[in-house]
Structure 1
């Protein structure tokens, strides 16, 4: 929040000034996101490996997030996962990695649990949970197990360049008339949606019915969605 408002909203201000400053911050944020989306669609950052997983991230993610992914891909080079004794379909790997501290580095051992059944992995470093990208420790374990495809659970919508950021559809005071028909449509659908969930949440049966129908609708519209236009 501080990063969002920095340079636009000041602590000593009245309500009207706050609203004006908030609109300025929102407008600037939207402009920056639109520029970033445009660049992501028109500029391609080369892959640094032959990994199909990196290639998939290159196709889907914004430039900024793909660069973060590449930092992890680059870090695989020095990693050598060692399989720990384990039973069943879950393998546990020990991965030694150098961690930079203030004036020196030290070796830290991370543990990656890998399921042979569905190729799902979880690392003790928690990078995916904190920042939404796969860590180099998991990628190294994938390499050991010849995993060459990327599970959908590791592809997060908020980093995808082909999905419009929802807050860019929120009305603000600089919107005039029909200049932003997408925002008008969004507001109209949101109103109907709130009415629907108010009634659906009254029972478990209705909730499950609404959930299944909404998921079906999302998949239908996503399959027929036109690519965003930046003209």
Structure 2
């Protein structure tokens, strides 16, 4: 159990406090980086990379209110032909015949290809499964604070600053556990500010 807890804290720390390489600098990749844990981001980054090198649109059919986009996936089994059913609007609908989202809760390169085609800047919330996000298991500091705020810009910024303070504190504590003197200095400064 101790090994599991250690690995969980280590992975959680890496996901929250480090930034992975961003090879494409697309807004979808940036959004995935903010949302997903490090290992899930690596999976989604590979899918986004696949939109460049493995997907080729073949034909688009309009069947109101949906677009049916046939594409060739150079790495798929059999003939590699797949179909993405897509509806743009407030309630975006996207499904692919590869069924990756339905099977594991992660988007495939085919749906990402269509999102990029329609210039999506963010992954729609309905296609982000909470179990793959950084915040699915709150860390000890997050449990201490109630950060449920509305979407007001001022409150949103305050929430972002609060998270940043908690992450910085968590980072400092993690790095100073073996340096008692500096840990005491940080504690004393925080007491002064309190």
- TM-score normalised by length of structure 1: 0.58
Could you tell me which runs of 5 or more consecutive residues in structure 1 were left unpaired when the two chains were aligned: 1-23, 170-181, 186-216
Pair 124,164 (structure 1): closer, same or farther in 2 beyond 3 Å = closer
- TM-score normalised by length of structure 2: 0.67
Report the alpha carbon displacement of residue 94 of structure 1 after superposing the two structures with TM.
0.7
Which moves more between the two structures, 130-139 or 148-157? 148-157
* C-alpha distance in structure 2 between counterparts of 1:59 and 1:112, whole Å: 26
Pair 116,73 (structure 1): closer, same or farther in 2 beyond 3 Å = same
- SS state of the match for residue 74, structure 2? strand
> Aligned-residue CA RMSD in angstroms?
2.9
Greater Rg, structure 1 or structure 2? Answer: 1
2:32 counterpart (57, 60, 68): 57
* C-alpha distance in structure 2 between counterparts of 1:47 and 1:30, whole Å: 29
Higher relative contact order (CA 8 A, sep 6+): 2
Could you tell me which runs of 5 or more consecutive residues in structure 2 were left unpaired when the two chains were aligned: 174-194
Give the alignment of 1:70-81 within 5 angstroms. Answer: 70-77=45-52, 78-81=54-57
1:86 matched residue in structure 2:
62
Which moves more between the two structures, 66-75 or 80-89? 80-89
Pair 221,157 (structure 1): closer, same or farther in 2 beyond 3 Å = farther
Task: Report how many residues are paired.
Answer: 156
2:122 counterpart (128, 134, 149): 149
